[in-house]
Chains A and B, each alone.
Chain A
Amino acid sequence: MRSLRVPYSVLILLCFLFVIPFIPALLASLGGVWRFPLVIPEGWSFRAWEAVFRENSGTLSAIWTSLWIALCVTVINVLVSVPAAYALVRGNLRYRAAIEAILLAPIFVPALAVVMGIHLTFLRLGLTETVLGVVLVHLAPSMPYVIRAAMISFETMNRETEQAAQLLGAGPWSRFLFVILPHLRAGLVAGVTLSMLISLSQYSVTLLIGGGQVVTLPILLFPYISGGDTSIGSAYTLVFSAVALLLVISLDVALRGHYKKKGRSRV
Chain B
Amino acid sequence: MSMWRRNKYALFVLPAFLLTITLFFGGLADGLLKSFGYFPAIGQDTLRLSFYQQALAERAFQDSLFLNLRVALLSTIFASILGITLALVLYAFQLRSKRPWLLRLLQLPLTIPHLAAGYFMVLVFSQSGLMARLAYAVGWIDAPAEFPVIVNDAFGWGMVVTYAWKEAPFVALLLYPVLARIGSGWYDTARIYGARPWNYISTILLPAIRPALLTASLIVFVYTLTAFEVPYLLGVTYPATLPVYAYQLYTSGNFEDRSQALAIFWLLTVVTLLFGWIAYRFYRKSYDRGWE
Chain B residues within 8 Å of A103, by CB: 13, 16-17, 20
In the assembled complex, B289 has its CB within 8 A of some CB on chain A: no
Docked CA distance A169–B182 (Å): 41
A197 to B110, CA, bound (A): 10
Is A131 positioned at the interface, with any CB of B under 8 Å from its CB?
Answer: no
Interface string of B21-36 (1 = CB under 8 A from A): 1011111111110100
B169 partner residues in chain A, CB cutoff 8 A: 18
B157 in the interface (beta carbon within 8 A): no
Size category of the binding interface on chain A: 35 or more
Bound CA–CA A229/B262 (angstroms): 34
Q: Which residue of B lies closest to A230 (CB)?
A: B123
Residues B272 and A114 in contact, CB atoms below 8 Å apart:
no
Q: What is the distance, in angstroms, from A171's C-beta to the closest C-beta of chain B?
A: 15
B122: chain A residues within 8 A (beta carbon) = 225
| B84 interfacial contact with A, CB 8 Å | no
Rounded to whole Å, the gap between the CB of B39 and the closest CB of chain A is 8
Residues A36 and B133 in contact, CB atoms below 8 Å apart: yes
Q: Say whether A102 faces chain B, with CB atoms less than 8 Å apart.
A: yes
Ordered by A's residue number, 11 sampled pairs between the chains whose C-beta atoms are within 8 Å are A3-B197, A17-B165, A24-B120, A36-B132, A39-B133, A109-B269, A117-B27, A120-B30, A136-B23, A234-B119, A244-B113
Q: Chain A interface secondary structure, helix, strand, loop or mixed?
A: helix
State whether A201 touches B114 (Cβ < 8 A).
Answer: yes
In the complex, whether B140 has a CB less than 8 A from a CB of chain A is no
Q: Is A93 among interface residues, defined by CB-CB distance under 8 A? A: yes
Which B residues between 144 and 176 are near A, CB-CB below 8 angstroms? 144, 165, 169
Contact of A197 among B29, B92, B111, B188 (CB under 8 A): B111
The majority secondary structure among interface residues of chain B is helix
Q: Are A113 and B86 in contact (CB under 8 A)?
A: no
| In contact, B10 and A237 (Cβ under 8 angstroms) | no
CA distance A244 to B83 in the complex (A): 22
CA distance A222 to B252 in the complex (A): 19
B27 near A233 with CB under 8 A, answer no
State whether the Cβ of A177 lies closer than 8 Å to any Cβ in chain B: no
Cα A101 to Cα B107 with chains together (Å): 28
Contact in complex: A201, B123 (CB < 8 Å)? no
Q: Taking CB as reference atom, which chain A residue is nearest B168?
A: A18
- Bound Cα distance from A96 to B124, whole angstroms: 48
* B27 with A118: CB separation less than 8 A: yes
